Structure 1
Amino acid sequence: MVVDSGYRACVVGLGSMGMGAALSCLRAGIPTSGIDLSEARRDQFAAAGAEGVGASIADLEGEFDAILVLVVNAAQARAVLLGEGGAAGRIRAGGVAIVSCTQSAEDAKALAADLEAMGVQMLDAPVSGGAAKAEAGQMTVMASGSKAAFAAAGPLLEAVAGKVYTIGTDIGLGAMVKVIHQLLAGVHIAAGAEAMAMAARAGIPLDTMYDVVTNAAGNSWMFENRMKHVVDGDYTPLSAVDIFVKDLGLVTETGRSLKFPLPLASTAFAMFQSASNMGFGGEDDSAVIKTFSGIDLPKKEG
């Protein structure tokens, strides 16, 4: 990819996905700055060759062609872009705010309208793929917005994504696709946890159960990825239980707004809520298996 030498990007939120996206931009030759509240993450990105790092946009210089917002929720995205000294004011004319948090379609529409009132265009662009794909520049992006917004985001999207789905021109369509995706992701984790818990109760070694499923028709990407954490007894959070409390809560709220029943998603939501209430909210989302009583789970070695 040949990037216009004047094209500048900023990534807000240097977590597991944001750091990978920011590093992918650097590898693509895009001068990229990063914003994060964590000093350790800022130092990591600075050491990788960031153009600039800061705890807020006020710590950075100049304007940007694209600001990629990879924070937790709609409230954080709004605060980052439109709060006091918001980052939206540092987007060049013709530039774009790429909003990639998981949020409702209504929140995405409201944010886009407020940005438009400032003369800033927005791409509604949730992402998926996990930390590994983010680091490899192979995220999946499900985006909606104007042709101009897609064009302004083009160099950054090419750097961070393996696949970009153009859902449509209406803001909110990308957000809705991500909500539906999170329905599947959350249900798959919950179902995988239920299956592994049943295996534990039946006395089946969990490493054996894991090998069988991952080589058979019952496998899914979420089972293969998350249930390995259970087998290893390692609940170091890559995506925490409380993230799925948030996301499946959004799924069920969206279902209610559409007057559409979601029996499986509602059950999975209750399981993640229970895990959080039991004190596992900050652990890896595979810790939802800990809601099942009377089973012995593997312990992390060392």
Structure 2
Amino acid sequence: MRIAFLGTGKMGLPMARHMACGGHEVVAFDIASAQLALAREAGLAIAASLADAVAPAQVIFSSMPHDAAFAAVSAEVAACATPGSIYVDTSTISPAASAAAASHLAARNIAYLRVTVSGNNHMAEAANLTAMVSGPAAAFEHVKPLLALFGPTQFYLGDAEQARLMKLVINLLIALTSGMLAEALTLGQKGGLDWKAMWEVIAASAVASPIVKAKSAQLAVHDYAPTFTVDQMLKDVGLILDAGADLRVPMGLTALLGQMLQGAAAQGFAGEDYAAVIKFAGQAAGVPQR
């Protein structure tokens, strides 16, 4: 299958590489020369422009960092893609931005799939992502073998923006887990509990969700190297709060978590893992942090 992949960042590049390793003809494009260089090093063919990548493709994938980038790329896809092709976007963006693009793509007879993924860059590298899909059911069936190259599980949720909202639901739970850990660990640390011992108990307890277990080994040694940064989570929390406002859902806990993330960013942790809200809470409580 001829595939264009737009956006070869830390999530897009491994997804593109998995499809190439699966025997598909993948051509990559990114406006960042450094990302294109990484794609070339990974053995992918490189297009000189977005139009050159998209025009001959049967399926076009994109992975964009925010609404504005998605809006620009989806507009170019609508203008350059061949009618009858399928456009698959894997970005975490607002349902509103996604819905706005849908009408332009439909006018050009380009099937549009919203394929959000649950998992970080390490899970993308390991082909262990969970895909949440919405859009035309026939298009989903056509690209499902490609999505299976990203990970073992694909959920089809409906024909419109359901996948966008589901991604925000998942990220809300992940974000709030970091806030829960921040206050709990700070309470224990201020009361004299040993840091590593707390993590051992938490990881073996009833609250040890997969995300908690995944973070425990790293955070037990105060390692805040990012899989997803404070700034990135702030962006997603903004999308979540906007969705809540649109749907008239009170989101007091999420708003508070947004303020904790803002505090972590103000303390210099913006580029660290979003779990740095733990350090923010500790500093606020006067607990020395590494």
Q: Same fold (TM over 0.5)?
A: yes
Q: Where does residue 3 of structure 1 map in the other structure?
A: none
Residue 161 of structure 1 is matched in structure 2 by 151
- The residue correspondences of 1:40-59 to structure 2 (distance < 5 A) are 40-52=34-46, 56-58=49-51
Matched with 2:25 is 31
Q: Normalising to structure 1: TM-score of the pair?
A: 0.87
One-letter amino acid of the structure 2 residue matched with residue 74 of structure 1: D
Distance 1:227 1:249 in 2: 26
Question: Residue 273 in 1 paired to residue 262 in 2?
Answer: yes
Partner of 2:240: 251
- Deviation at residue 226 of structure 1 after TM alignment: 3.2
Q: Which residue number in structure 2 is paired with residue 118 of structure 1?
A: 108
Deviates more, 1:151-160 or 1:240-249: 151-160
1:20 aligns to 2:9 (yes or no): no
Of 172, 176, 182 in structure 1, the residue corresponding to residue 161 of structure 2 is: 172
- Does residue 70 (structure 1) correspond to residue 60 (structure 2)? The answer is no
Taking the TM superposition and a 5 Å limit, the aligned residue runs for 1:212-291 are 212-291=201-280
Question: Tell me, which stretches of 5 or more residues in structure 1 are unaligned?
Answer: 1-6
| Contact 2:83–2:108 (Cα < 8 Å) also in 1 | no
SS in 1 for 2:27: strand
Equivalent residue of 1:159, what SS?
Answer: coil
Aligned to 1:210: 199
Cα deviation code 1:194-228 (max 9, x no counterpart): 22222322232222211111111121222223344
Deviation, 1:53, is: 5.2
Question: How high is the TM-score relative to the length of structure 2?
Answer: 0.90
How far apart, in 1, do the equivalents of 2:249 and 2:34 lie?
A: 43
Aligned-partner Cα distance in 2 for 1:186–1:62 = 39
- Whole-Å separation in 1 of the counterparts to 2:207 and 2:115: 30
Partner of 2:289: 297
AA aligned to 1:19 is: L
Task: Output the amino acid matched with 1:207.
Answer: K
Gap change, CA 1:227 and 1:272, over 3 Å in 2: farther
- What is the percent sequence identity of the aligned residues? 28
- The 2-side partners of 1:250 and 1:280 are apart by 21
Partners of 2:7 and 2:41 in 1: CA distance: 17
Write the letter of the residue equivalent to 1:248.
V
- Match of 1:146? 136
Q: How many aligned positions are there?
A: 287
Tell me how far apart the structure 2 counterparts of residues 19 and 79 of structure 1 sit (CA, whole Å): 20
Instruction: From the superposition, tell whether residues 275 and 254 of structure 1 become closer, same or farther in structure 2 (CA, over 3 Å).
Output: same
User: What amino acid is the match of 2:27?
Assistant: S
**Residue 135 of structure 1 is aligned with which of 121, 125, 134?**
125
Q: Quick one: distance in 2 between partners of 1:241 and 1:186?
A: 10
CA RMSD of aligned residues (A): 2.1
Letter in 2 for 1:184: L
Q: Please list the CA deviations of residues 265-297 of structure 1 after superposition, one character each: whole Å capped at 9, or x if unmatched.
A: 222122112212333222211111222222233
CA distance in 1, matches of 2:13, 2:221: 25
Structure 2: tracts of 5 or more residues without a match = none
* Equivalent AA in structure 1 for residue 21 of structure 2: R
Pairwise CA distance, 1:13: 2.1
- Aligned to 1:29, the other structure's residue is in SS state coil
| Pairwise CA distance, 1:141 | 1.0
Match of 1:4 in 2: none
Deviation at 1:121, TM superposition (A): 1.7
**1:76 aligned counterpart, secondary structure:** helix
Larger deviation, residues 182-191 vs 131-140: 131-140
Matched residue of 2:228: which SS?
A: coil
Question: Residues 203 and 216 of structure 2 are in contact (CA less than 8 Å); yes or no, is this contact kept in structure 1?
Answer: no
Match of 2:2 among 5, 8, 28: 8
CA distance in 1, matches of 2:82, 2:146: 15
Shift of 1:61: 7.8
